[in-house]
């Protein structure tokens, strides 16, 4: 039997509270811890508040961080289509990361509602998956801690989400490519061709992850590859893969900061999904280090997410879900900022390719993997961690689809003193 909301049950009060906070007539259905319900049953957004504690979380952090804490802790669940619900909520809330913008009278009504619901109290402890780093921003120690927080959560968990390639960056979904595995192999092969890899070439992969690119470079092109990562778990996994492929004579995996690589020169350098961790202030250090490690006519392929000018990054934002739960100290730069930094280091930029729509497809595939094996994901890490990954990947897919962020491959070359680049004159020849 359908529960009819009254002014005395929790759902009715919460429904009024949320609608007032959002300042929207968006159809919304809410089910509460006491079994009460309010709002149209067929609303595009159907939320379940499992515990009264969720209201205290939102009272103390009325922003995206409070909402994230509710979801990660399991105090709040989404009972409608996850992507559609996030999309609808994002359209109302927008990019607001501070307190919800409501006037004084509405705030007083909200406080009265919370009092009636018995939800006043001290702020609940944040979920265990939340982190706040200390020390100097982008010091080697702090960068290593940030990387460990995100990547050292279990190789088996990542295998479940990423699939057999263990590739944690945007895939390339060309014509006729239907599986995530094929799309990821297409991506690493595209990078290898842009870098002009071949027998005897020496390539450095900065932020090598679980080793997919360096293995492909050695196995398919005969290149000598060095992969560096700050994650011990990634390095252990990558070394095992290299040995199993019989490529130990061609591939070396190191736990090493890019600033500590001093055994150049290399013929080529790939950086696939690593520059997002560098930070704008460190871009000159990053690009100059890579420039110095290359031979003349050596190529750099920088594959990185970018944000539109005017769209905020998340480094240092106190209320950012991404900064607290996903990529501590991560920072997205506009494409122009990245290109300027590469050119300022001495490189000549020769090709830029945008892959925004490809990343939306990749993220949706990862979410599908996670949701289809949810019980296994929780067993391999924690329910909170699985919830973090589901929320961030789904929200990111929508952000790519909306066009607020993109992802680009920038191919640059270290020219000789005479200006020689050693590159084909056309993109067709470059990729052949």
- Segment 197-208 shows an average pLDDT of 97
What pLDDT does 263 receive?
Answer: 97
Whether 27 has a pLDDT exceeding 90, the answer reads no
Let me know: does 237 contact 166? Beta carbons within 8 Å: yes
CA dist., res. 30 & res. 17, Å (int)? 11
- Segment 93-110 shows an average pLDDT of 55
Whether 5 has a pLDDT exceeding 90, the answer reads no
CA dist., res. 164 & res. 324, Å (int)? 29
Whether 24 has a pLDDT exceeding 70, the answer reads no
What pLDDT does 7 receive?
Answer: 40
Let me know: does 39 contact 13? Beta carbons within 8 Å: no
What pLDDT does 62 receive?
Answer: 74
What pLDDT does 57 receive?
Answer: 87
Distances (CA, A) of 167 to 46, 52, 206, 214, 397: 34, 40, 14, 11, 17
CA dist., res. 16 & res. 246, Å (int)? 63
CA dist., res. 48 & res. 57, Å (int)? 15
- Segment 228-249 shows an average pLDDT of 96
What pLDDT does 98 receive?
Answer: 42
- Does residue 61 or residue 244 have the better pLDDT? 244
End-to-end CA distance of the chain: 65
Q: Is 238 left (phi over 0), alpha (psi -120 to 50) or beta?
A: alpha
Let me know: does 253 contact 235? Beta carbons within 8 Å: yes
Whether 37 has a pLDDT exceeding 80, the answer reads yes
DSSP 114: H
Residue 54's nearest CA partner among 46, 63, 66, 38 is 66
Structure tokens at 357: 């729509």
Of 64-68, 382-386, 428-432, give the range with the top mean pLDDT.
382-386
What pLDDT does 22 receive?
Answer: 65
- Does residue 32 or residue 218 have the better pLDDT? 218
Query: Across the chain, what does the average pLDDT equal?
Result: 89
CA dist., res. 348 & res. 47, Å (int)? 51
Whether 266 has a pLDDT exceeding 90, the answer reads yes
Whether 369 has a pLDDT exceeding 60, the answer reads yes
Let me know: does 301 contact 290? Beta carbons within 8 Å: no
Percent of the chain residues topping a pLDDT of 70: 90
Whether 96 has a pLDDT exceeding 50, the answer reads no
What pLDDT does 1 receive?
Answer: 29
Following DSSP, what letter does each residue of 385-430 receive, concatenated? HHHHHHHHHHHHHHHHHHTSEEEEEEEEE---TT------SSHHHH
Tell me whether residue 74 is exposed, middle or buried, using C-beta atoms within 10 angstroms of its C-beta: 0 to 12, 13 to 18, 19 or more: middle
Whether 315 has a pLDDT exceeding 60, the answer reads no
pLDDT band at 102 (very low <50, low <70, confident <90, very high): low
pLDDT band at 313 (very low <50, low <70, confident <90, very high): low
Let me know: does 362 contact 272? Beta carbons within 8 Å: no
- Does residue 63 or residue 264 have the better pLDDT? 264
Residue 259's nearest CA partner among 281, 239, 236, 282 is 282
Structure tokens at 405: 């962020």
Tell me whether residue 252 is exposed, middle or buried, using C-beta atoms within 10 angstroms of its C-beta: 0 to 12, 13 to 18, 19 or more: middle
CA dist., res. 130 & res. 128, Å (int)? 5
What pLDDT does 320 receive?
Answer: 82
What pLDDT does 117 receive?
Answer: 74
Whether 4 has a pLDDT exceeding 90, the answer reads no
Least confident of 36-50, 231-245, 261-275: 36-50
CA dihedral (205, 207, 213, 214) in degrees, to 10, reads: 50
pLDDT band at 65 (very low <50, low <70, confident <90, very high): confident
Whether 112 has a pLDDT exceeding 80, the answer reads no
| pTM score | 0.90
- Does residue 101 or residue 24 have the better pLDDT? 24
Residue at token pair 């150049």: 264
């Amino acid at each position: 039997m359908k529960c009819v909301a009254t002014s005395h049950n929790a759902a009715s009060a919460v429904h009024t509270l949320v609608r007032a906070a959002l300042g929207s007539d968006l159809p919304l259905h809410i089910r509460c811890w006491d079994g009460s319900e309010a709002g149209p049953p067929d609303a595009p957004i159907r939320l379940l508040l499992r515990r009264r504690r969720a209201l205290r979380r939102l009272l103390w952090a009325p922003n995206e961080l409070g909402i994230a804490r509710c979801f990660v802790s399991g105090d709040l669940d989404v009972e409608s289509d996850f992507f559609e619900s996030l999309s609808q909520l994002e359209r109302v809330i927008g990019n607001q990361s501070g307190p919800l913008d409501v006037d004084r009278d509405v705030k007083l009504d909200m406080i009265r509602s919370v009092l009636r619901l018995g939800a006043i109290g001290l702020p609940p402890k944040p979920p265990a998956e939340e982190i706040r780093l200390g020390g100097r921003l982008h010091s080697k120690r702090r960068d290593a801690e940030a990387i460990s927080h995100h990547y050292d959560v279990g190789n088996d968990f990542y295998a479940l989400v990423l699939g057999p390639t263990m590739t944690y960056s945007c895939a390339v979904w060309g014509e006729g490519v239907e599986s995530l595995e094929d799309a990821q192999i297409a991506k690493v092969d595209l990078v290898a061709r842009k870098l002009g890899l071949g027998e005897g070439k020496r390539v450095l992969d900065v932020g090598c992850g679980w080793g997919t690119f360096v293995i492909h470079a050695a196995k398919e092109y005969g290149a000598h590859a060095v992969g560096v990562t700050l994650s011990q778990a990634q390095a252990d996994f990558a070394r095992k893969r290299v040995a199993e492929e019989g490529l130990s004579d061609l591939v070396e995996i190191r736990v090493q900061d890019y600033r500590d690589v001093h055994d150049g020169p290399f013929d080529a350098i790939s950086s696939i999904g690593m520059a997002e961790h560098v930070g704008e202030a460190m871009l000159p250090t990053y690009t100059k280090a890579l420039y110095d490690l290359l031979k003349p006519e050596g190529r750099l392929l920088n594959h990185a997410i970018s944000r539109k000018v005017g769209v905020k990054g998340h480094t240092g934002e106190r209320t950012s879900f991404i900064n607290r739960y996903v990529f501590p100290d991560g920072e997205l730069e506009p494409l122009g900022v990245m290109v300027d930094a590469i050119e300022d280091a001495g490189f000549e930029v020769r090709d830029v390719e945008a892959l925004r729509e490809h990343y939306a497809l990749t993220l949706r595939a990862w979410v599908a993997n996670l949701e289809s094996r949810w019980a296994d994901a929780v067993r391999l890490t924690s329910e909170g961690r699985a919830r973090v990954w589901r929320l961030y990947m789904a929200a990111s897919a929508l952000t790519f689809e909306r066009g607020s962020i993109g992802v680009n491959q920038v191919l640059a070359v270290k020219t000789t003193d005479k200006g020689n680049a050693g590159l084909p004159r056309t993109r067709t020849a470059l990729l052949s």
